[in-house]
Amino acid sequence: MMFSPGERKFLAVNRITILSLFALILAGGIVRTSGSGMGCPDWPKCFESYVPPVSASQLPEGYKEKYVEKRVAKNERFAKTLDVLGYGEMAAKIRSDKSIREPEDFNAAKTWTEYINRLVGAVTGVFLLGCVIRSRVYLRTRKRIFFASLFNIVLVIFQAWLGSIVVSTNLLAWVVTVHMLLALGIVAISIYTLFEAQVLRNQALLSGGQMSRLQLIALLLCLLTLVQVTLGTGVREQVDFVADAMARLNRASWVQQVGATFNLHRDSALILTAGQFTLFYIVRKKFAATAFQYRYVTYSGMLIVLQVVTGVVLAYLALPPVAQAAHLVLATLLFSAQFYLMLLLRSRSAVISAVQTK
C-alpha cells in the first residue's frame, strides 16, 4: 500500500478522531447515567467560567435566577423556531414545561462530570477540524473525502448548538434522542472517510464479486440498530418518569413498570440479533478467515452478544449505572462495526469503476 505522506497523516488523524468520538459518547453516557446533564446550567461556559467551581462559595451571585431567566429566553426562541417549522405541539410542550423554571442545585461532582464531557467534546472538535485540513490532499484524487469531512464539521457545529438546547430544555427526551442519533451520524461519516482513504490505495479490502444482497442486509441491520438506539432512549425516558413517580424508591421494579416501550425494545433486539447472526453465518461461509469482511462480521457478532448481556443486566439487576454506560457505548461500537462491514461488502469492480471516472 503506497500511501503518500499527506494521506498517512489524514489516516492517522481520522483514526484518532474516531477513537475520540467513542470517548465522547462514553462521556455522554456517564453524564446521563450519573444525572449530571444539568451540572453546568449555562453553555458553553460553566457557571460563567471556563473552569467550573469546586465549592458553593465560588458560585456567581444570584446564579439560579439568572440561569433560569436565560434558559426560558433560549427555550422561547427554540419554541418559535419549532412553530415556524410546523411543530406547534412540541413548542407548546416546551413552553408549558414547569421543570425548565426550576433552578438546579449546585453539585460539584456533577458539575465536573459535565465539564469533562464538554472538554472531550472540544478536543474531538479539534480533531474533526484536523480531518478537514488533512483531507485537502484528496481534492484531486478523491474529492468526496474532503467534502464529507467538511460536512462533518457543519454537523458538529449543529450538534454543539443542539447540546445547548439539551441543557436549556432540561434534557427534553426527543432532543436528547436527536443529539444521540446525530452523534452516530458524525461517527459514520468519519468511518466513511477513513474507508474511502483506505480503499483508494488498497482495493483488496473489498469483495471480489457482486455483494449487493449482503450489503443490503448489512444496511438494514445498521438501520435497525439506529431504531434500537431510538427505542432505548425512549425506555430511558420512561424509566426516569417511573423513578420520579416512585420517589426514586424500589429501583429494581422501574423497568417492569415501563411497559410497551420496553417490550418493543426487547423484541426488536431479538430481531436484530437473529439478523446479525444470519449475516455472520453467510459472511463467514463466503469469505476466508483472513478477509476483513470475516473479521468485522465477527466483531459485530461479539458486540451484539455483549449488548444483549448488558441489556439483561439492566432489565433484571436494577439498572446499574455501569451497565447503562456500557450498553450505550456497545451500541455505538456495534453500529460502527456494522457500518464498516457494509462498506467492506461493496463490489471491488464497482469501486474501481467509480475511481476511473474521477
| pLDDT tens digits for range 69-106 | 888 888 899 899 999 989 888 888 888 888 788 877 88
Residue 218 pLDDT > 80, yes or no? yes
Residue 43 and residue 126 in one domain: yes
Residue 18 and residue 69 in one domain: yes
Taking residues 302-325, report their average pLDDT.
91
Q: How big is the chain by its Cα radius of gyration, in Å?
A: 22
Residue 70 and residue 154 in one domain: yes
Residue 215 and residue 251 in one domain: yes
Instruction: Tell me: cis bond preceding 44? Omega within 30 of 0 counts.
Output: yes
Residue 102 and residue 133 in one domain: yes
Q: Provide the whole-model pTM.
A: 0.89
Residue 213 and residue 77 in one domain: no
pLDDT given for residue 207 in this prediction: 66
Q: Which three cell numbers stand for residue 248?
A: 426514586
Query: 201, 220, 250 — which closes off a domain?
Result: 201
pLDDT given for residue 210 in this prediction: 56
Query: 201, 229, 263 — which closes off a domain?
Result: 201
Domain count, the chain: 2
pLDDT given for residue 56 in this prediction: 87
Residue 61 and residue 43 in one domain: yes
Amino acid identity for residue 66 in this structure: K
Residue 10 and residue 32 in one domain: yes
pLDDT given for residue 273 in this prediction: 95
Query: 201, 234, 260 — which closes off a domain?
Result: 201
Residue 142 and residue 116 in one domain: yes
Q: Tell me the torsion sign for CA atoms 17, 20, 22, 24.
A: negative
Confirm if 164 and 44 have CB atoms less than 8 A apart: yes
Helix (H, G, I), strand (E, B) or coil at 347: strand
Residue 69 and residue 88 in one domain: yes
Determine which helix (DSSP H) or strand (DSSP E) holds 219, and give its type and residue range.
helix 212-245
Query: Sorting pLDDT into bands at 50, 70 and 90, what band is 160?
Result: confident
Residue 315 burial (CB count, 10 A): 17
Confirm if 255 and 262 have CB atoms less than 8 A apart: yes
Residue 24 and residue 167 in one domain: yes
pLDDT given for residue 259 in this prediction: 79
Tens of pLDDT along 257-304? Answer: 887 888 899 999 999 999 999 999 999 998 989 899 999 999 999 999
Domain that holds residue 177: 1-201
Residue 237 and residue 181 in one domain: no
